[in-house]
Structure 1
Amino acid sequence: MNDPIANALARTLLPLFWVAVWSSGEGCRAFPEPEVSGKAVVTRAGEELVIDTGRDGTDGVGLDDHPIGLCVVRNAGDLSVVVDNGDDTGLSYVNIMAGGGLPHASAKIDGDLYQGACELIVQEQQGEPYEADVAAGPCDLVRLFDGAKARLETAVFHVSDCSGAD
């Protein structure tokens, strides 16, 4: 499979994944907008790539901001944190996720999706609604279809008002 097809497939499947995550669960409920702050560093072929919510990861972003920040909590232990700057150049998207006992990470670099198993550390805070510090890395990420490698060096995010939290 060539790169244009792989890119089109990744662009098509990613929104469908989020539709499934948002629509699964207990029906439609209104939630406050989630807020995410932090940054992630990925290396690929000796190049360091960074995605940052602003001011070295201290600015918080939500669904109406750029970059977009999103966090979803489904069940105890199921958490997804996403930062997406909406661009296909450099490191444009990071998702660290623990779901079904299988923690992993995804990163989009120059329009290509890389994925890999990656342990997450979640430190819940006392805030209401759901608030936590979430970290991942280092771990290897592999590009789909050809096995090219990148490495998530670190991803550290603070999340609050996560969608789906009880």
Structure 2
Amino acid sequence: MSEQLATALAYALSSVLWVAFCTSTSGCVPHPEVSGKVTITRDGEELVLDTGGNGTRAVDASGEVAGGCIIRNRSELSVTVQEKGAAFSFFDLVDQAGLPHVSAEIGGKLYQGACVIVVQEQQRDPYEADVAAGPCDIIRNFDGMGARLETAVFHVSDCSGAD
């Protein structure tokens, strides 16, 4: 594995673990609002992960879809959405230290790729933003099987800003 891929994987996993820990303990991210929709194509199949209402409904504690977000110092971003039991069950986009990348779990396998992420922060709140990524290619770790992130579009607010 290349050093760049190993570094990207380490950043992605640390962000995922941080978001998972904080959202599960309800201590770090009290009530982030994450709404959006991700579309990935693989072998001619379109896979969609949607927070509800065609990406307009924010995730909540009672729903099947969970989500979290972090916006730190206006320079680091992580948005995570997870739907238990779905074939396309997890998506994370991260921009840390100028290394934008996405991760997706499809059929229990992790796909990753370096994708441009566009963030439009809301002027009234530094922890609210519109976030988009795609199109870009992603690959399955260890065997190189390809997929394509067609679009990922989110609106996030009340994101954690802790250092």
TM tier, smaller: 0.7 to 0.9
Alpha-carbon shift at residue 31 of structure 1 (Å): 4.6
> Please, which runs of 5 or more residues in structure 2 have no aligned partner?
1-8, 22-26
Normalising by structure 1, what TM-score? 0.79
Once the two structures are superposed, the pairs formed by residues 77-116 of structure 1 within 5 Å of their partners are 77-87=75-85, 89-116=86-113
Deviations 1:111-130 (A, max 9, x none): 10000000000011134361
Match of 1:146 among 143, 150, 159: 143
Match of 1:51 among 49, 52, 68: 49
Normalising by structure 2, what TM-score? 0.80
- 8 Å CA contact 2:76–2:97 kept in 1: the answer is yes
AA matched with 1:40: V
Q: Partner of 2:99: helix, strand, or coil? A: coil
Superposition CA RMSD, Å:
2.5
CA distance in 2, matches of 1:73, 1:63: 21
Q: How many residues align?
A: 148
CA distance in 1, matches of 2:106, 2:51: 17
Identical-pair percentage: 56
Cα 1:59–1:138, aligned 2, differ >3 Å: closer, same or farther? same
What is the aligned partner in structure 1 of residue 3 from structure 2? none
CA distance in 2, matches of 1:127, 1:96: 23
What is the aligned partner in structure 2 of residue 117 from structure 1? 114
- Is residue 2:73 matched to residue 1:70? no
> Please, which runs of 5 or more residues in structure 1 have no aligned partner?
1-9, 24-28
Alpha-carbon shift at residue 91 of structure 1 (Å): 1.1
- 8 Å CA contact 2:16–2:80 kept in 1: the answer is no
